[in-house]
Copies of this chain bind each other. A is one copy, B any other.
Amino acid sequence: MTVITHTSEVQNVTKIDIYDSTLRDGAQAQGVSYSVEDKIKIVQRLDELGIRYIEAGNPGSNPKDLEFFARLGELRLRHAKIIAFGSTFKVGGDAATDANVQSLLRAGASAVAIFGKSWDFQVTDILRTTQAENLRMIGDTIRHLRQGGLEVVFDAEHFFDGYKANPGYALQTLAAAAEAGAGCLCLCDTNGGSFPDEIFDIVKVVCSRFKCAIGIHCHNDGEMAVANSVAAVRAGATQVQGTLNGIGERCGNANLCAIIPNLQLKLGFECIPPQCMKHLTSIARFASEIANLAPNDKAPYVGSHAFAHKGGMHIDAVNKTPTAYEHINPELVGNHRTILMSEVAGRSTLLALINAIDPGIKRNSPQTQHIMDRLKQLEHEGYQFETAESSFELIVRKELGKYQPFFELKEFKVIVDEPSASGVNSSAMIKIRVGDTEEITAAEGDGPVNALDQAIRKALERFYPAIREVKLTDYKVRVLDSDRATAAKVRVLIESTDHTESWTTIGVSTDVINASWLALVDAIEYKLVREQERQTAPR
């Protein structure tokens, strides 16, 4: 009988350095481009997850990355070290005068990653230089950066293809980097076509030859990047490079959202502090949202379908014993079980929310069922309350009769003129009623939604001065059924703040202005409800 073991073959290694490249290699994905603000938000969330290294960009390649590195000082990171990424100096050049190498030294990060070629054919046919010159480029670049006081990771580009073609030369490129002082040799499956058993065998050879840390960087062109990364760790690699949700060029990079729990929850390695594992699902969804990519519902561990059970038999079995159809407990990664036929799983979460508003409601009260039905109907229409809990709270209040309208909309009219006389091309007229008083007013804006936002706030300020404190901080639009083209349904999310609290509200409609209006109204009503509570609470 075969004995199956799942500890690393190098018995004393249990800590794995996770190296996130969502902001660098992930930004190579088609359709992805981050603002500097986006980058800072993602870095903060990665740090919260306990990631060890964050490769944040290439300061020598573009002004946006340069601006990010200039703002490094703002960040107060607890776990993560920022890595600046770049290449060796060019053929025939030297480190001291190479612009890219110099920008790495000036970037302000204490660690850098340098990529160099490990495949002989790439050296001769793509770089069009000699094998010796390539070794000099690798060694001298790394030596120079080490002299500058930086920690250096060497990314051995195409290492596995190179090893298969010419193992001797591939190992020489690693030796050049190690001798120059690289702290980690990261082996890249750049074209993404390798198999786990190849990766395992080759990493084992490399680990037996070098004393410094060995890393692994896989791409998903054969749909095996996760298995390849795990195979490398089992063979002795201690650094794993990848991206959140596996985003990246072509078929993507190795998906850290699957690798981390595979290694930590099943094989006993420590990738992140155990208490951070429960943030995995929320950071994965956050990263999709920031990149404006639709989240992958069937993503392992973190997808909304990952623990969804459909067939009646499966549901019965899962109710008896979850392990019957679940490979892990979904709560470990901050996800949850979904029972698609009867919403029993969601009921206790829902009840907690209802009880915050009315503690008298019970699990089997008719109101609970009623709100459950309303929730299902709205989700069917395209609403999604995962991020818009404030809109959901308003719905619960309305269903429970715990809500008094603050104003009534009589009418609005939005006009967009092209060409516009002034710089602003949009205007909105609005008529509302508060008690017995009607108010009609108008405002201009940068686009129709902005005009409407200005107008409704102007109309309400007279009645509710607290509205002045509210500032909208985020506005997101997602087209739901995009094949219906310009008649498609859109979902708008608006984030607001009054500098004490932030809240997010939602609107869904076939018309972007109407969807925005629904979310705007919720944002205002939520503020007024909180204001009312503040005034009535301490009598």
Are B514 and A425 touching (Cβ within 8 A)? yes
Tell whether A126 pairs with B167 under 8 Å between CB atoms, given A416-B513, A511-B426: no
Interface assignment of A298: CB less than 8 Å from any CB of chain B: yes
Are B478 and A477 touching (Cβ within 8 A)? yes
Interface assignment of A436: CB less than 8 Å from any CB of chain B: no
- Contact of A205 (CB < 8 Å), options: B2, B125, B258, B511: B2
Are B251 and A487 touching (Cβ within 8 A)? no
Contact with B along A1-21 (1 / 0, CB 8 A): 110101000000000000000
For A202, what are the chain B residues with a Cβ–Cβ distance below 8 Å? 2, 4
**The stretch of A140-148, A392-400, A447-455 that contacts the partner chain:** A447-455
Are B201 and A4 touching (Cβ within 8 A)? yes
Are A448 and B511 touching (Cβ within 8 A)? yes
For A516, what are the chain B residues with a Cβ–Cβ distance below 8 Å? 486
Nearest residue (CB) in B for A327 is B193
For A309, what are the chain B residues with a Cβ–Cβ distance below 8 Å? 249-250
Are A308 and B517 touching (Cβ within 8 A)? no
For A479, what are the chain B residues with a Cβ–Cβ distance below 8 Å? 292, 475-477
Q: Which of A292-325 contact B (CB under 8 A)?
A: 292, 294, 297-301, 303, 305-311, 314, 316-317, 320-321, 323-325
Contact with B along A429-452 (1 / 0, CB 8 A): 000000000000000011111101
How far, in angstroms, from A343 to B418 measured CA to CA in the complex? 30
Interface assignment of A498: CB less than 8 Å from any CB of chain B: no
Interface assignment of A196: CB less than 8 Å from any CB of chain B: yes
Are A226 and B230 touching (Cβ within 8 A)? no
A37 to chain B, nearest CB (A): 6
Are B191 and A326 touching (Cβ within 8 A)? yes
Interface assignment of A281: CB less than 8 Å from any CB of chain B: no
How far, in angstroms, from A262 to B197 measured CA to CA in the complex? 14
Q: Which of A61-104 contact B (CB under 8 A)?
A: 61-62
Are B324 and A126 touching (Cβ within 8 A)? yes
A398 to chain B, nearest CB (A): 19
A327 to chain B, nearest CB (A): 3
Q: Assembly of this chain: how many copies?
A: 2
Interface assignment of A378: CB less than 8 Å from any CB of chain B: no
- Contact of A321 (CB < 8 Å), options: B61, B125, B250: B125
Interface assignment of A367: CB less than 8 Å from any CB of chain B: no
For A190, what are the chain B residues with a Cβ–Cβ distance below 8 Å? 325
For A513, what are the chain B residues with a Cβ–Cβ distance below 8 Å? 416, 426, 447-448
Are B223 and A255 touching (Cβ within 8 A)? yes
Are B387 and A31 touching (Cβ within 8 A)? yes
Nearest residue (CB) in B for A414 is B416
How far, in angstroms, from A192 to B314 measured CA to CA in the complex? 14
Interface size grouping (class) on chain A = 35 or more
Are B201 and A418 touching (Cβ within 8 A)? no
Interface assignment of A474: CB less than 8 Å from any CB of chain B: yes
Interface assignment of A286: CB less than 8 Å from any CB of chain B: no
Tell whether A486 pairs with B453 under 8 Å between CB atoms, given A204-B2, A251-B306, A387-B31: yes
A208 to chain B, nearest CB (A): 10
How far, in angstroms, from A6 to B196 measured CA to CA in the complex? 11
A451 to chain B, nearest CB (A): 9
How far, in angstroms, from A61 to B122 measured CA to CA in the complex? 57
For A314, what are the chain B residues with a Cβ–Cβ distance below 8 Å? 249
For A30, what are the chain B residues with a Cβ–Cβ distance below 8 Å? 297, 305, 308, 310, 340, 386-387
Are A487 and B266 touching (Cβ within 8 A)? no
Tell whether A485 pairs with B474 under 8 Å between CB atoms, given A164-B4, A307-B250: yes
How far, in angstroms, from A6 to B199 measured CA to CA in the complex? 12
- Contact of A514 (CB < 8 Å), options: B300, B316, B447: B447
Are A511 and B321 touching (Cβ within 8 A)? no
A496 to chain B, nearest CB (A): 8
Q: Would you mind naming 27 contact pairs between A and B with Cβ atoms under 8 Å apart?
A: A1-B205, A2-B201, A4-B164, A4-B198, A125-B320, A191-B323, A195-B227, A196-B231, A220-B300, A222-B266, A222-B327, A224-B226, A224-B230, A224-B262, A249-B309, A292-B478, A409-B418, A411-B417, A425-B511, A445-B487, A447-B487, A453-B485, A472-B486, A473-B483, A473-B485, A475-B482, A486-B520
- 5 closest Cβ pairs, A-B complex: A193-B327, A447-B511, A227-B227, A472-B485, A223-B258
Given contacts A195-B227, A445-B487, 12 further A-B contacts (CB under 8 A): A2-B202, A4-B201, A31-B384, A122-B317, A125-B320, A192-B300, A196-B196, A222-B262, A222-B300, A409-B418, A416-B511, A416-B514
